[in-house]
Structure 1
Amino acid sequence: MRNKKVVIVGSGLGGISSAISLATQGYDVEVFEKNDKIGGKLNVLERDGFKFDLGPSIFTMPHIFNELFENAGKNMEDYFTLVAVKPHWRNFFEDGKIIDLIPVDIKNKFRATNVSERDNRDLEEFLTYSKKLYDLVDEGYFAKGLDTFKDNIKEYGFIKLLKDLDGLSTMDSQVRKYIDNEYLIDIINFFIKYVGSSPYNAPALLNLLPYIQYQFGLWYVEGGMYNLAEGLLKLMEELEVKINLNSEVVEILKENEKVSAIRLKNGKVIKADIIVSNMEVIPAYENLLKEDREFLKKYDKFEPTCSGLVIHLGLKKEYKNLAHHNFFFSKDPKEHFATVFNKKKLPSDPTIYLVAPTRTDKSQAPEGYDNIKILPHIPYIQDDIKLSDYMELKERIYDKLESMGLDDLRENILFEEILTPFDIKKMYNSNKGSIYGVVSDVKKNLGLKASKRSEKYDNLYFVGGSVNPGGGMPMVTLSGLNLKDLILETKKN
C-alpha cells in the first residue's frame, strides 16, 4: 500500500514542523513555498556586510524544536548552535529609569535590577503563579493539542477553567495582584509581545509566558536566527521531504466533502490525499478555497493580531547602552495598547522593541559598525492608514529613541530597510498584515484560535499562528507536532 501523499502550502515554522513530523511517520510529503527560501517570517536580509533577522529574534522553549529532531533520530546540536542571551531584556522608561531582567543560577528564579528587594520578592511570587498556569496548560492544551472551548471544558472542567486558569480575567488584572511596582507591571505586561495582543484584553492564562522564558531560557541562534531555518531545511532533505520554492499555491481544489489537489500560479495541479495549509485560516478559506461570506462569518472572532513597522538600520556606531533585547516604553502603556488594539490607530507614543544582535554575535555587522531592528506594534491594515502615515510614525520613533538614549541616531544611519504591514501581507499572505496570527482576547475568543482540522473538509488541516496553540516560534512549531498526532488519531478511527 502506497504512503499517503501530503501537500503542505507554505514553509513557515508550522509547515516545516508538519513536514518533518509527518515524514517521520512514513508520509510522502511535498512542500510548496511562494518565496525563494523556506522559513516564512523566519527570514533574513543581507546588505553591505550587515545581516538582519527580518522576523523572530527570540528563541525560547528549545525542547519543542528538539522533539522534531529526536522523532527523526537526530541530535539538534548537529544542526545549529544556541547561545544564551543575558540580560534577557533591558527596559528603558521615559523618566530615565532603566531595568534589566536577568536570569540567575537558582532554577526558576529571575531578578530585576534597579528595584527594591521587596519588588524582587513580588516577582518571585508572581513567577510561582506563572508556573502554576504553565503546568496546567502544558499538561492539557499544549500536550494534547486542544482546539475548541468544548475540548478544554472536557479536559479541565468549567470550574477549573474559571478559577485555576483565570478564564475570564485579563493579564494585567492578575499581574497587579502580585506586583505593585508600576515599572515592573509594564515589563511583565509586555511579555504579551510574544503573541501580538494587549495585556488589557488577553486572558490571564498568558501570564505563563514569563515562567516559560525563565524556565527554558532565552536564546539566540549562532550566526543569526535564520540558521534555525537552515538546520531544519537540512533535516527535511535528509527525510526526503520534497521542497518547491518560488511555487505559489493559488487554489485548493475540492471534491464533495474533501480537498483533492492544489493549483500553482503556473497552472500546474498536484493531487494529494491530505492538504496542510500553513497559510492562515481566513486567507486560505477566502483566497484558496473561495468560501463565501456566510461561511466565513463564524471566523470573525479570530481577529488578526497586531502588525508592525519593522525598521532595519545599518549604523556607523555602536550604542553601548543597548543590550541584545531592549524595550523603550510608552509614557502611558495603557493608552498605547488601547490606541493599537481598540481604536486601531497608529500610536503617538509607541512602546518600541529594539534588537541589537551584535551584543551576542559580532558577525551580524562589519567591524566597527552596528545593526539594529526596531519594531513597534501597530494595527493590522486599516483603510484609513496610508503609507505616508507609517513614514510619519517612523520619524516619531526616531525622535523617541534619540530622546531616550540613542543620541544622534539619524546622523549615524548608513541605510534603512523598512517593512510596512502592506509588505508583510504581500510577503507572507498573512491576514491583513498580521505578524502573530490570531489575537488573544477574552471577550472575542477566550484566547483560543481556530482549529487545526477543517470543519468543512475532512482531509484539510491548518498550522501556524492562526490555529491553536497560537503565535510565536515555539507555538507554531508545536502546532505541527500536534497536527501529526491529530492525523494519526484520525487514521486510527
Structure 2
Amino acid sequence: MTKKTAIIGSGISGLSAAAYLAKEGHLVHVFEKNSSAGGRARQFITENGYTFDMGPSWYWMPDIIDRFFRDFGHGATDFYELTALDPQFDMIFPDSTLSVPGTYPQLRAMFETIERGAGNRLDAFMMAAKYKYEVSMLEFVNKPCHTWWEFVSPKIVASALKLDLLSSFRSYVKKYFSDPRLIALMEFPVIFLGASPKDIPAMYSFMAYGGYALGTWYPMGGFHEVVKAMKAISEQLGARFYFNHTVEHIRADRGMVTELVINGQAHRFDAVVASSDYHHTETLLEKKYRNYDDRYWSSRTFAPSCLIYYLGFNVKIPNLKHHTLFFEHDLDTHINDIYINRKWPEKPLFYACCPSKTDPSVAPEHHENVFLLMPLATGIHDSEPIRERYLSEMIHRLEKHTGASDLAKQIDYKKSYCISDFLQDYNAYRGNAYGLANTLRQTAVWKPSIKNRKLANLFYTGQLTVPGPGVPPSIISGNIAATEVNKLKLHRYEKAV
C-alpha cells in the first residue's frame, strides 16, 4: 500500500526528506508558503541583472553533500560545477590580514610562519579533528536520538574520550595555539553554532577539518544550485511541489494526524514531515498534541539571527576576496551582545561574500555582487534606520580594507533582510537564522524530538531538531526523518497483517 506523505516546507531538510521518501515509494506532496524552494537557501534575481543567494554561502563538508547525491545514483557535479576557492577566505584583524590558503600544505606553512611550531600542532589538531569528523558524521549525527541507548555501540563508546564532549572548544584550541589570530581562525567555524567558543564542546573541532582540510568550494551559479539539484531528484522520483501553499492547521484524532488545512482546504495524509520552524509547526496543533510549551522554547539557547544586505555595485571592488571576515573587534564583545546583553552590537564583527569574484554570472559585467552579514541577538527590535546605521559602518570598513572610496554612491541595488523578515518568511522563532545553539545541553537526545510523542505519524526535521543547523546537518536531518517515517510504515503493515 502506497503512503501519501506531506512535507511542510521546502528548505534543505524538507528537500532531503522528499527525495528519500519518494525513493521509498511514498506519494510525496511538498507544501511551501513562499514562491520558490529552498527556505533560507532561496535565491532571487533582480531586474538589473544580479543573482543573490539569500542564505548559505559556505560550501563546506563537500563529502556529506555529495553523499546525498550518491544515495540517488548521482554525484553533486552531475548537477553543478564546483570551484575550489584559493584563498579560501581573508580574515581581517586590526593590524593585519590572514589570507587562508586553499591547500593544506600552504595552510600549515602559514601557521608555522605566524607561530613557531604551529605547523606541527596544526597537524595534531587536524588529525584529532579528522577522527571526530569521521565518527561524528558516520556514527553520531545519523541517530534519531530517541534515547541515549542509540549511542551504545563499540565504536562510539571507544571514541567517547577522543570526542572531547566535556571540554571547552576555546580551552581546547588554546592547547595548540597561542597567537590570537590563529585562535580566532580556529574558532571561526563554530561561531554560528550559537554560543561562545568557551561554551561549545571541543568535539566541534571536526568543523575545522570539514572546512580547512576539505576546502572551501563554490557551486557555479550560486548555492541555490544545490537546492535546484535536490528538487530535481525529488521530482524525478515523483514528488510534487506546491508553492504559495500555507499550512494553516494540523488536525488530529486518535493519536494520528488526519488532515492538513492548506490555503483553507482540508487534505488527508498518512504521514506528515514538518521541515517548517518547529515552534511554529506546534502552534498549528491543538495544545494537547504539542511536544513542548512556550516555557520550554523560551528556556532554549538559540543561535543568532542576523542582519543581511544584498548589494549590487556598479564598479569592481579591488582587494576583495570571495569570502572576507571582518574581525577588527573583539569576538567575545560581540558574542556577549548577542547572548548576554541581547542588544545590537557596539563593536560588531561581520562577513562579506563577493561571489562575482568567482562567478561572473551573478552580476552584470564590470559590476560586483556583495552580501554582507552581521550576527545579532534574536528577538531584538529591528527597524530600517538601525539597519542603515550598520550598513554605513560595514561599508566604511569595506572601504578601509579594499582601498575603494565612495562605495555607497556606487550601489545600484540594495535590499536588507533581518529579524522581522525571518519571522515573516520562515515563521522563525524570535527571528532566529541558525536554529538552536549546539551547546552540550542541547545536543543529541537533548534537542527537540524528531518525532511527535502524541501523534504517531507526525515528524519534524531541520535546524531545530537533530542533528542541528547548517546545510550538511539539514540534509542528514531529512534522511533521519524519512527513515523514521518508513519505520512507521513497516510497523503499520505488521499490525495490518
Mark yes or no: TM-score above 0.5. Answer: yes
Q: How far is the alpha carbon of 1:78 from its aligned partner?
A: 2.7
Question: Given the superposition, is the C-alpha separation of residues 158 and 52 from structure 1 closer, same or farther in structure 2, using an over 3 Å criterion?
Answer: closer
Aligned partner of 1:257: which letter? G
* Alignment partner, residue 17 of structure 1: 16
8 A Cα contact 2:102 2:216, kept in partner: no
- The one-character-per-residue Cα deviations of 1:90-113 (angstroms, maximum 9, x if unpaired) are 101122x11122232669978559
Spell out the pairing of 1:3-402 with structure 2 (5 A cutoff). Answer: 3-47=2-46, 48-95=48-95, 97-104=96-103, 111-112=110-111, 115-142=114-141, 144-147=142-145, 150-151=148-149, 154-155=152-153, 163-264=161-262, 266-290=263-287, 295-382=293-380, 384=381, 386-402=383-399
Given that residues 304 and 376 in structure 2 are in contact (C-alpha distance below 8 angstroms), is that contact kept between their aligned partners in structure 1? yes
Q: Is the contact made by 1:201 and 1:441 (CA closer than 8 Å) also made in structure 2? A: yes
Q: CA deviation at 1:357?
A: 0.5
Amino acid at match of 1:190: F
User: For 2:400 and 2:186, how far apart are their aligned partners in 1?
Assistant: 24
> Is contact 1:324-1:355 (8 Å) kept?
yes
* Matched-pair contact (CA < 8 Å) for 1:463–1:483: yes
Specify the alignment match of 1:450 in structure 2: 448
CA distance in 2, matches of 1:446, 1:337: 24
SS in 1 for 2:117: helix
> Where does structure 2 lack aligned partners over 5 or more consecutive residues?
492-497
Residue 137 of structure 1 deviates from its aligned partner by 1.5
- 1:12-52 deviation per Cα after TM superposition (whole angstroms, max 9, x unaligned): 01000000001001111110001111111111122211111
For 2:7, the aligned partner's letter is: I
- Residues 306-339 of structure 1: CA deviation (Å, up to 9, x unaligned): 0110011111222221111110004211111111
Secondary structure class of the residue paired with 2:264: coil
The number of equivalent residue pairs is: 488
Amino acid across the alignment from 1:136: V
Are 2:250 and 2:284, in contact at CA under 8 Å, matched by a contact in 1? no
Partner residue of 2:417 out of 396, 416, 419: 419
Matched-pair contact (CA < 8 Å) for 1:103–1:111? no
Partner SS, residue 138 of structure 1: helix
Deviation string 1:158-201 (CA, Å, 9 cap, x unpaired) is 98686332223222121111111110111111111453443232
Is the contact made by 1:438 and 1:470 (CA closer than 8 Å) also made in structure 2?
yes
Q: Secondary structure at the match of 1:438?
A: coil
Amino acid at match of 1:268: Q
Q: Distance in 1 between matches of 2:12 and 2:60?
A: 14
**236 and 135 in structure 1: CA distance in 2 versus 1, 3 angstrom threshold:** closer
AA partner of residue 126 (structure 1): F
For the 8 Å contact 2:457–2:488, the answer to whether it is kept is: no
- How far apart, CA to CA, are the structure 2 residues paired with 1:102 and 1:241? 41
Opposite residue 459 of structure 1, the aligned amino acid is: N
Partner secondary structure for residue 470 of structure 1: coil
Larger displacement relative to structure 2 (316-325 or 5-14): 316-325
Q: What's the offset of the Cα at 1:346?
A: 1.2
Q: Distance in 1 between matches of 2:183 and 2:231?
A: 40
Change (3 A) 1:447 1:130: farther
TM-score normalized by structure 1? 0.91
Q: Distance in 2 between matches of 1:156 and 1:300?
A: 37
In 1, are the aligned partners of 2:58 and 2:216 still within 8 Å (CA)?
A: yes
AA at the equivalent of 1:366: P
Q: Is the 8 A contact 2:303 2:432 kept in 1?
A: yes
Contact (CA 8 Å) 2:333, 2:347: kept in 1 or not? no
Following the alignment from structure 2 to structure 1, what is the Cα–Cα distance between the partners of residues 391 and 66?
38
Q: Which structure 1 segments of 5+ residues have no match?
A: none
RMSD over aligned CA atoms reads 2.7
Question: Helix, strand or coil: the match of 2:101?
Answer: strand
Write the letter of the residue equivalent to 2:135: L
Deviation of 1:221 (Å): 1.1
